[in-house]
Amino acid sequence: MDINSIKQEAKKEIDQVKRLKELEQIFRKYLGKKGEVSLVLHSLKDLPEKERKEKGLMANKIKKELNELITKKKNEILLTDNKSDNQEWIDVTAPGILPPQGYAHPISLIQQQIEESFQSMGFSVIDGPEVETEYYNFDALNIPKNHPARDQWDTFWLKNLDLLLRTHTSPMQARYMEKNNPPLRIIVPGRCFRHEATDASHDVQFYQVEGLMIGKNVSMANFKGVIKAFLKDIFGPKLKMRLRPGYFPFTEPSFEIDIMVRQAHHKKLGQWLEIMGAGMVHPNVLKSVGYLPGEWQGFAFGVGIDRLAMLKYEIDDIRLLYSGDMRFSKQF
Ligand code: DAH
């Protein structure tokens, strides 16, 4: 084909093209190694000198012209449409983008330490449902309907159902004992919910770890030993704790456990902070799961995980734990 017709044809094609991929094909068709313009240039060598010179000049001029047209078109396409299939022209030398990295949440961090500590003392880690029945959350724990102690747990009820969001992890005591024979040692970490006003130390959701140890002779002395070992694992050997009498329907006697605040920046530095309820499992609870109270006994406790995390990591507002803010969680 004569070089001028090649040029006309190429121009027409370049003019109509919409995608980089097709433009690339056009480039190859005309200017590639075996492209039409290149072939013309190649064939010149057989021509007589005068003609060769003339045609050579002409062909080179057209080559340059087409090259410019293609570059211009490429920039045009990139400017007007840089989506999808035009992204294929990738600059492989460009530096990569680091994928964003996640961080373990302080609740997860401390939960892991709690689990390790109890596992080293022979406790198994058990999971339980966040949506509970009224029976397990209350009745099985010696808190029947109209029992005044129910007010202690402001409850989210589910509409039209006999279901609620568990107000504590204690329901797993009854669920587990119903299905397993004593002796046993378990902890149950998990999320709980209370229908309460929020402030720096209360949120509608929080985490607890339930603990339960049942055997023939499990006593308060065992409880103190286990809890002291656990708290020292978390807070170090200098930890100071104390037991105060308390009241829970599912334990008798019942206690509250405080620890001395040593974190320099804590506003309660040097004061006692309540972190846990506990006691000897009430005979009515043992009966409700079919254990013989004269034969089996043991202790139970419920620790506030948020409290432990806040103390250990010096966090002064519980709501930060549920903010979902990476700037917060990347600090721990
Ligand atoms: N479930 C109680 C609460 O959320 C805490 C608690 C107290 C758990 C005494 C226990 C216990 O297992 O024995 O307030």
142 CB less than 6 Å from ligand 1?
Answer: no
Angle made by CA atoms 323, 329, 332, in degrees to the nearest 5: 145
Q: What is the pLDDT of residue 256?
A: 97
Q: In whole angstroms, how large is the CA radius of gyration of the chain?
A: 38
Mutate to test the pocket of ligand 1, among 165, 166, 168 (most ligand atoms within 8 A of CB): 168
Residues of the chain short of pLDDT 50, as ranges, are none
User: Residue 168 CA: which ligand 1 atom is closest?
Assistant: 4
Mutate to test the pocket of ligand 1, among 167, 250, 282, 289 (most ligand atoms within 8 A of CB): 250
Distances (CA, A) of 104 to 5, 94, 201, 281: 68, 31, 22, 35
Q: Tell me, in angstroms, the distance from the centre of ligand 1 to residue 173's CA.
A: 10
Distances (CA, A) of 112 to 2, 271, 285, 324: 79, 27, 29, 20
- The third-level CATH classification (topology) of the domain covering 106-329 is BirA Bifunctional Protein; domain 2 (3.30.930)
189 CB less than 6 Å from ligand 1?
Answer: no
Q: What is the pLDDT of residues 164-180, one digit of tens each?
A: 999 999 999 999 999 99
54: enclosing H helix or E strand: helix 49-80
Tallying the residues shown for the chain, one arrives at 332
Q: Tell me, in angstroms, the distance from the centre of ligand 1 to residue 314's CA.
A: 24
Q: 295: which residues sit within 8 A by CB, 6+ positions away?
A: 216
The amino acid present at 216, given as its one-letter code, is K
Domain ranges for the chain, please list them: 3-79, 106-329
Q: Distance between CA atoms of 176 and 52, rounded to whole angstroms?
A: 97
Mutate to test the pocket of ligand 1, among 141, 170, 172 (most ligand atoms within 8 A of CB): 170
For the chain, what is the largest distance between any 2 Cα atoms, rounded to a whole number of angstroms? 121
Q: Distance between CA atoms of 303 and 43, rounded to whole angstroms?
A: 89
Three-class DSSP category at 141? helix
Nearest CA owner, ligand 1 atom 3: 168
Nearest CA owner, ligand 1 atom 8: 302
